[in-house]
A = this chain, B = another copy of it.
Amino acid sequence: MSMKVHQLARGFWEQHEPPSLSLGCKRLRPLAPKLQSETVTSADSVSSFDLKSFIRPESGPRKLHDKKDTTQVETHPGGTRWNPTQEQIGILEMLYGGGMRTPNAQQIEQITAQLGRYGKIEGKNVFYWFQNHKARERQKQKRNSLGISHSPRTPTAVNTISLDTTRGGLLEREEDSPYKRKCRSWGFESLELEESIRSSKEEGDRTLELFPLHPEGR
């Protein structure tokens, strides 16, 4: 019972190209500084060739980057997955650090619009980024907590920077709770379905996480 496929909705998020430049040029450069970029103009060919179905022979050559001289860098024909730039990652982490966990459509749209300045990006990329980042931070934390079976406290105490001064609460908090449904609505055009928006109160938090904290993670 779950669902079947259907693809309908989606379309509107699909990227629109930023204005004109996207800049971000960087890419290449294997190690060290990373700045990838792409200049990929065009592209959006979503059509997809399905090269992937080619299989990957066990060890056969894969994509290597031997194309160095040609004028085009690959251009990756069909399209590939989103490749965030430093700016994009920085902003996303900033948002995450601020407490954002599952942005709703409106927010995704807004974020996407902003990040689009630094490189090609679509709403779904933003959505997935939050999903994955959240999940992986959780794993990471879980791993650590296990590993540290004995430390008295020392959670990751990282920054104790803090600042305090009044306030204490600002936005975040809300680390990830296990289950908390946050609001989102996949509304697509008008259907009649009215979504009830209900909410569940949140958290049941397990594990406390002091802070999202991911200073330099990755």
Q: Which residues of A contact B (CB under 8 A)?
A: 2-16, 18-30, 32-41, 43, 46, 48, 50, 52-53, 68, 70, 76, 78-84, 86-87, 89-91, 93-95, 97-111, 113-114, 117, 119-120, 122-124, 127, 158-159, 161-174, 177-202, 211, 213, 215-216, 218
Residues in B neighbouring A90, C-beta threshold 8 A = 36, 41, 113-114, 117
**Among candidates B10, B29, B103, B113, residue contacting A36 with C-beta atoms closer than 8 Å:** B29
**Among candidates B29, B46, B186, B197, residue contacting A83 with C-beta atoms closer than 8 Å:** B29
B78 & A26 in contact (Cβ 8 Å cutoff): yes
Given A2-B193, A97-B110, list of 13 further CB < 8 A pairs? A6-B10, A22-B50, A27-B29, A41-B90, A99-B170, A101-B170, A105-B191, A106-B165, A106-B191, A107-B170, A109-B161, A179-B198, A180-B199
**Among candidates B86, B161, B199, residue contacting A178 with C-beta atoms closer than 8 Å:** B199
A54 CB, min distance to chain B CBs, angstroms: 10
21 cross-chain CB contacts under 8 A: A5-B191, A6-B8, A8-B186, A9-B11, A11-B187, A12-B189, A22-B50, A27-B79, A28-B120, A34-B39, A94-B110, A98-B98, A98-B100, A98-B171, A106-B191, A107-B168, A171-B171, A171-B173, A179-B199, A185-B185, A186-B187
Kindly report which residue of chain B lies nearest to residue A43, judged by CB atoms.
B27
CA–CA, A114 and B214, complex, Å: 11
CA–CA, A210 and B91, complex, Å: 22
Residues in B neighbouring A14, C-beta threshold 8 A = 7, 10
A167 & B189 in contact (Cβ 8 Å cutoff): no
* Given A26-B78, A173-B171, A9:B186 Cβ within 8 A: yes
A30 & B86 in contact (Cβ 8 Å cutoff): no
A164 & B106 in contact (Cβ 8 Å cutoff): yes
A185 & B192 in contact (Cβ 8 Å cutoff): yes
* Given A114-B90, A182-B184, A81:B189 Cβ within 8 A: no
